Chain A
């Protein structure tokens, strides 16, 4: 795995994500790194936390927990289906298992296991996957999960969360440890800037509204929140009052927040590092078409696989830059 390349990832000075931090004094940090740190702290506080991994603990960062609490860490080998079943079994004896691997393998390889023994059985299993989206980088399409949110969102009882930065990730991990029921959390490999306000606290099902735009509102998740903020700034300079919403819980969707911004502007744009089919864009369209039909444009991966490259290049290649969002907005407005 090209671990070195993460230096030049979305954190670089020129990059779209890196250029738009809220808290410039805090160095960008990968959400997976925060996961490793938060999990370690949780492990110190709570005996009931157990962690499973499928031979990727160095990449998912569960290795920190593993080193500190070897008796509560289970490396399952390269066997994701067995990992999910074992996690379900552990939860049925009162443990709170966090099961981690790459998002592709977690949600794809073990989908039926998640469906039966986690969702249908409604077990208290926390699926925290890293390496979501194209910013996985050089490893290419086989390792870039672009369908994971869709796969998890379709499952009854599942909560789906995509944090936008490291601080939100810490808040998410602590929150879901106290929540009873299946949760899927999608984290990234690349470093991302801090964009959430210092006093922000994540709540399941509650979006964070940075600003409500009178002309357009961008509903984003994950690394696209920072990019959406940059796009909003560019659009505002061009006279379009643009709002940004961090929809970090994709299921259950915050319909209240969505209605509010949909009613205040003529256009909604969704932005996600995921297929536009079945993810955030899909969820927003489903909700708005039934509750308050307004034009929606979806920025995301348009029915294709990813490819190799560095994360910044891939963001450009797949049309996920702030400029791409700006273009999408302007096209939509000019054609309306």
Chain B
């Protein structure tokens, strides 16, 4: 069997340690790049780590292995998160993370599936990932392939109409080999999501669209794991996790700060951030 080289990790402490490492990679990459999206990369770390390392079957040696589980980062601006995880998982040499956003790097500013094997589809224009995830889930189902599809969206992102088109599609076609996550960090670029364009009540909206909805603390690894388990057991409808998170999570002076949406850490901020995470 061509499964994950790492084997699946279910130990909470171990996953938390990986999440810590991923946060450090993200800060390192962003600081070296000198630009990029800090807040939204950090808020989604814990859910993404849980999905990749506790749930997904994949093989970095064979990124297009047909039985792999699929992960789509619909909020493509959190690319550093995806790259950090892929580096940690062994998709490419670790040094490559230093090339983020540089000319001819496979680590494009937003994920590009043609530049980096293992990226399932290019993203960056918000609102599109869930549709692609549905298509993959339908294709896998046609082939009786038990592989699963995961998709992470931003809370601002779900203002896009296409998300709700896709939400209807997933329920209509009873797509249950899909688990979506909304990184509900409360912020978008211009301010708080509720102030820019309210999306509440978020739970009820997804439920009304026919989804099984699970609300979790998106930084509590145990809760995330439990929700992912629950999602696997839901049949005949899609599942979405509303992951309540803090933008910039892990670095006190980035947390909840709308200004750090699209700004990379300075060298000085990087030093302080690393210390905080290592001591935290």
Tell me whether A and B are bound partners.
yes
Q: Interface on A for B, CB 8 Å cutoff?
A: 50, 71-72, 74, 76-77, 79, 81-95, 97, 112-113, 115-117, 120-123
Task: Give residues of chain B (112-157) contacting chain A, Cβ–Cβ below 8 Å.
Answer: 112-114, 120-125, 127-140, 142-143, 145
Q: Does B84 contact A (CB under 8 A)?
A: no
Given contacts A50-B142, A117-B122, contact A94 B165 (CB under 8 A): no
Q: Does B168 contact A (CB under 8 A)?
A: yes
- Evaluate contact between A81 and B140: CB separation under 8 angstroms: no
Given contacts A71-B142, A113-B128, A121-B114, contact A88 B121 (CB under 8 A): yes
Task: Give residues of chain B (76-132) contacting chain A, Cβ–Cβ below 8 Å.
Answer: 112-114, 120-125, 127-132
Select the residue from B122, B129, B172 with max chain A CB neighbours within 10 A: B122
Instruction: Specify which chain A residues have a CB less than 8 angstroms from the CB of B112 in the assembled complex.
Output: 120
Task: Give residues of chain B (25-65) contacting chain A, Cβ–Cβ below 8 Å.
Answer: none
- Evaluate contact between B122 and A89: CB separation under 8 angstroms: no
- Evaluate contact between B139 and A82: CB separation under 8 angstroms: no
- Evaluate contact between A89 and B162: CB separation under 8 angstroms: no
Q: Interface on B for A, CB 8 Å cutoff?
A: 66, 70, 112-114, 120-125, 127-140, 142-143, 145, 161-162, 165-166, 168-169, 172-173
Instruction: Specify which chain B residues have a CB less than 8 angstroms from the CB of A89 in the assembled complex.
Output: 121, 131-139
Please name 10 further chain A to chain B contacts, defined as beta carbons within 8 Å, in addition to the given A89-B139, A92-B70, A94-B139, sorted by A numbering. Answer: A72-B142, A77-B169, A81-B131, A81-B161, A82-B166, A85-B134, A85-B135, A90-B138, A92-B132, A121-B122
Given contacts A85-B132, A85-B134, A122-B114, contact A113 B142 (CB under 8 A): no
- Evaluate contact between A113 and B162: CB separation under 8 angstroms: yes
The 6 listed contacts between A and B (C-beta, < 8 Å) are A50-B139, A77-B172, A85-B128, A85-B130, A85-B134, A120-B122
- Evaluate contact between A86 and B135: CB separation under 8 angstroms: yes
Select the residue from A93, A94, A117, A120 with max chain B CB neighbours within 10 A: A93
Given contacts A82-B169, A116-B123, contact A95 B139 (CB under 8 A): yes
Q: A6 to B85: give the CA distance in the assembly, Å.
A: 57
Select the residue from A74, A92, A95 with max chain B CB neighbours within 10 A: A92
Given contacts A79-B165, A81-B165, A82-B162, contact A90 B136 (CB under 8 A): yes
Instruction: Specify which chain B residues have a CB less than 8 angstroms from the CB of A50 in the assembled complex.
Output: 139, 142
Closest to B125 in A: A116
Nearest chain A CB to B155 CB, angstrom units: 20
Nearest chain A CB to B154 CB, angstrom units: 16
- Evaluate contact between A117 and B138: CB separation under 8 angstroms: no
Select the residue from B66, B112, B128, B131 with max chain A CB neighbours within 10 A: B131
Nearest chain A CB to B145 CB, angstrom units: 8
- Evaluate contact between A116 and B122: CB separation under 8 angstroms: yes
- Evaluate contact between B131 and A84: CB separation under 8 angstroms: yes
- Evaluate contact between A88 and B135: CB separation under 8 angstroms: yes
Select the residue from B128, B132, B161, B162 with max chain A CB neighbours within 10 A: B132
Nearest chain B CB to A116 CB, angstrom units: 5
Q: A299 to B32: give the CA distance in the assembly, Å.
A: 54
Instruction: Specify which chain A residues have a CB less than 8 angstroms from the CB of B123 in the assembled complex.
Output: 116
Nearest chain B CB to A197 CB, angstrom units: 39
Closest to A121 in B: B122
Q: A275 to B129: give the CA distance in the assembly, Å.
A: 33
Q: A91 to B113: give the CA distance in the assembly, Å.
A: 14
Q: A121 to B120: give the CA distance in the assembly, Å.
A: 9
- Evaluate contact between A116 and B135: CB separation under 8 angstroms: no
Nearest chain A CB to B206 CB, angstrom units: 16
- Evaluate contact between B122 and A93: CB separation under 8 angstroms: no
- Evaluate contact between A121 and B121: CB separation under 8 angstroms: yes
Instruction: Specify which chain B residues have a CB less than 8 angstroms from the CB of A121 in the assembled complex.
Output: 113-114, 121-122
Nearest chain B CB to A158 CB, angstrom units: 14
Q: A76 to B170: give the CA distance in the assembly, Å.
A: 10
Instruction: Specify which chain A residues have a CB less than 8 angstroms from the CB of B162 in the assembled complex.
Output: 79, 81-82, 85, 113
Given contacts A71-B142, A79-B168, A88-B121, contact A117 B128 (CB under 8 A): yes
Instruction: Specify which chain B residues have a CB less than 8 angstroms from the CB of A87 in the assembled complex.
Output: 135
Q: A115 to B110: give the CA distance in the assembly, Å.
A: 14
Q: A147 to B165: give the CA distance in the assembly, Å.
A: 25
Q: A88 to B139: give the CA distance in the assembly, Å.
A: 10
5 interchain residue pairs of minimum CB distance: A89-B135, A85-B131, A93-B139, A82-B165, A79-B165
Q: A91 to B130: give the CA distance in the assembly, Å.
A: 15
Closest to A93 in B: B139
Select the residue from A74, A82, A87, A113 with max chain B CB neighbours within 10 A: A82
Q: A154 to B120: give the CA distance in the assembly, Å.
A: 24
Nearest chain A CB to B90 CB, angstrom units: 22
Given contacts A84-B131, A86-B131, contact A93 B136 (CB under 8 A): yes
Given contacts A74-B138, A92-B121, A116-B122, contact A86 B132 (CB under 8 A): yes
Instruction: Specify which chain B residues have a CB less than 8 angstroms from the CB of A97 in the assembled complex.
Output: 135
Instruction: Specify which chain B residues have a CB less than 8 angstroms from the CB of A71 in the assembled complex.
Output: 142
- Evaluate contact between A94 and B132: CB separation under 8 angstroms: no
Q: A72 to B141: give the CA distance in the assembly, Å.
A: 11
- Evaluate contact between A85 and B122: CB separation under 8 angstroms: no
- Evaluate contact between B138 and A86: CB separation under 8 angstroms: yes
Closest to A115 in B: B125
Q: A237 to B67: give the CA distance in the assembly, Å.
A: 65
Instruction: Specify which chain B residues have a CB less than 8 angstroms from the CB of A82 in the assembled complex.
Output: 131, 134, 162, 165-166, 168-169
Closest to B173 in A: A74
Closest to B163 in A: A82
Partner of A116 from B124, B137, B145, B161 at Cβ < 8 Å:
B124
Nearest chain A CB to B17 CB, angstrom units: 32
- Evaluate contact between B66 and A94: CB separation under 8 angstroms: yes
